[in-house]
């Protein structure tokens, strides 16, 4: 029967096993996270939003100024039309009074002047009608101007409301920008404090490692003395090393308790 090939471990497993057998272990590095990248992006968006709102605010103010100018000119035209209407409305009364006086004085005129007087009376009757017709037209024009003025006032009120809302939104956006800035500054301060804490922990870890190495050396010396024996000089040196190792442990323990 054909022999089966012996199963071999995958390359990744062999690599991991060889790395496990390696006595030297790399120390893990601790990284510090940077502040959130979305905060500057949100800050830029808020800045562009404020710029757009300020542009819209300027345009609305320009439109409001134009409407106010148009309203002022319309008010002036309305006032002029009203004055003209008042003047025209007073004029027919004077004409009627003159006609009454002429009729009362007709008996003093001769028959020679009868026909010219009748023509003058007809002309005087026709002229007030024309003036009344013109006054009615002026009155209609004044009504149209009044309607336009009312419409302009409504538009001005709407623009004023929009301006108020835009100002409120700008103030709100500025408050959001200030709050975002405070958060970024707090994140930066937290980052600095975290880096200082990591530095202190690295120094403390290094001290603990050195103490552990010294303790291991002391323990190794004790084991050698128990197995192989030792000379008086070695015992003196071992005692000194043991005392120095214990002293180092005591100092580190006191530092840890104080912190």
pLDDT tens string 91-123? 555 544 555 555 555 554 554 445 455 555 555
Total structural domains within the chain = 2
Q: Output the pLDDT for position 228.
A: 54
152 CB-side CA count, 13 A: 19
Altogether, the residues listed in the chain come to a count of: 259
Domain span at 245: 199-259
C-alpha 59/C-alpha 62 separation (Å) is 5
Kindly report the CATH number assigned to the domain that includes residue 53.
1.10.287
Pick the residue with more confidence: 135 or 104? 135
- Are residues 204 and 173 located together in one domain of the fold? no
Element (H, E) at 248: helix 232-258
Residue 150 placed within a domain: yes
Give me the residue label for tokens 């590095």: 29
Q: Output the pLDDT for position 213.
A: 86
- Are residues 108 and 158 located together in one domain of the fold? yes
- Are residues 163 and 95 located together in one domain of the fold? yes
Q: Output the pLDDT for position 25.
A: 44
Residue 62 placed within a domain: yes
- Are residues 106 and 224 located together in one domain of the fold? no
pLDDT band, residue 205 (cuts 50/70/90): very high
Give me Rg for the CA atoms of the chain.
53
- Are residues 165 and 96 located together in one domain of the fold? yes
- Are residues 204 and 172 located together in one domain of the fold? no
- For residue 34, is pLDDT > 80? no
- Are residues 125 and 228 located together in one domain of the fold? no
pLDDT in tens, 148-174: 888 888 888 888 888 888 888 888 888
Q: Output the pLDDT for position 235.
A: 47
C-alpha 153/C-alpha 159 separation (Å) is 10
Closest CA to 79 of 141, 155, 154: 141
**pTM score, whole prediction:** 0.35
- Are residues 209 and 158 located together in one domain of the fold? no
Contacts of 39 (CB under 8 A, 6+ apart): 180, 183, 184, 187
- Are residues 164 and 245 located together in one domain of the fold? no
Residue 24 placed within a domain: no
Residue 22 placed within a domain: no
């Amino acid at each position: 029967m054909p022999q089966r090939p012996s199963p071999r471990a995958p390359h990744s497993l062999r690599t991991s096993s060889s790395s496990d057998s390696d006595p030297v272990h790399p120390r893990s590095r601790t990284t510090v996270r940077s502040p959130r990248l979305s905060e500057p992006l949100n800050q830029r968006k808020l800045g562009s939003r404020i710029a757009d709102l300020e542009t819209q605010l300027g345009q609305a103010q320009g439109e409001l100024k134009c409407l106010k100018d148009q309203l002022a000119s319309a008010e002036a035209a309305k006032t002029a039309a009203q004055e003209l209407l008042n003047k025209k409305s007073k004029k027919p009364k004077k004409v009627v009074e003159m006609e009454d006086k002429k009729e009362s004085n007709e008996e003093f005129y001769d028959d020679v002047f009868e026909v010219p007087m009748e023509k003058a009376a007809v002309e005087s009757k026709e002229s007030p009608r024309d003036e009344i017709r013109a006054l009615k037209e002026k009155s209609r024009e004044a009504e149209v101007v009044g309607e336009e003025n009312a419409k302009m006032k409504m538009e001005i009120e709407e623009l004023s409301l929009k301006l108020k809302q835009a100002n409120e939104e700008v103030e709100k956006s500025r408050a959001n920008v200030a709050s975002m800035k405070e958060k970024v500054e707090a994140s930066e301060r937290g980052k600095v404090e975290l880096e200082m804490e990591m530095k202190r922990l690295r120094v403390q870890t290094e001290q603990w490692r050195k103490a552990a190495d010294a303790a291991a050396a002391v323990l190794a010396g004790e084991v050698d003395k128990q197995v192989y024996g030792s000379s008086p000089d070695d015992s003196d040196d071992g005692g000194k090393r043991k005392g120095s190792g214990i002293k180092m442990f005591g100092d580190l323990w006191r530092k840890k308790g104080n912190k």
